[in-house]
Amino acid sequence: MEIRIIFGTESGNAELTAYEIEEALSDRFETSVENMADVDVDAIDKDAFYFVVSSTYGEGELPYTAKPFYEALTQSRPDLTGLRYALFGRGDTAYLKTYSHGCEILDELLSELGAQRVGEIARHDASDWSIPDEFAADWADGIVELIGVRQTV
């Protein structure tokens, strides 16, 4: 099974996290990383597993590069039944009401279109000064175990 990692970012941090997930999995699986702004929503591969990484911007909004993806999904409304994905949100609890809300917006739409989230949404809090990329790699390994994906490389 192919693993696709897509990210939405404002400042580049979610991109770094996406590449950390790829590094953690690429020795065992066929992986790719793509900016959400470049994803063709009509060509989403329902046979692949998607890791979705998103930051939150402003007042709980999607980051800049996630907006075209969200808008394209909203307009074309593809049937995503059969698609499985896991979500990793980056945020800061200093903004308690909107903490990690970007990934929740994506989760709601993907679910509405028939896709199935695997596991709980992972969230990294910038306020705790932990290293998000190590956390993301461990989380991704746990998701792979949860879905029982066999190694392809």
**Which CATH number describes the domain made up of 2-147?**
3.40.50.360
What pLDDT was estimated at residue 110? 97
Q: What is the pTM of this model?
A: 0.88
Interval 126-143: pLDDT, tens? 555 455 567 788 889 999
What pLDDT was estimated at residue 129? 46
CA-to-CA distance for 122 and 103, rounded, in angstroms? 9
Among candidate residues 21, 42, 44, 45, the one with its CA nearest the CA of residue 33: 21
Mean pLDDT, the chain, rounded, equals 85
Domain boundaries, the chain: 2-147
Is the CB of residue 98 less than 8 Å from the CB of residue 60? yes
Percent of the chain with pLDDT over 70: 84
What pLDDT was estimated at residue 136? 85
Interval 74-100: pLDDT, tens? 999 999 999 999 999 876 555 556 556
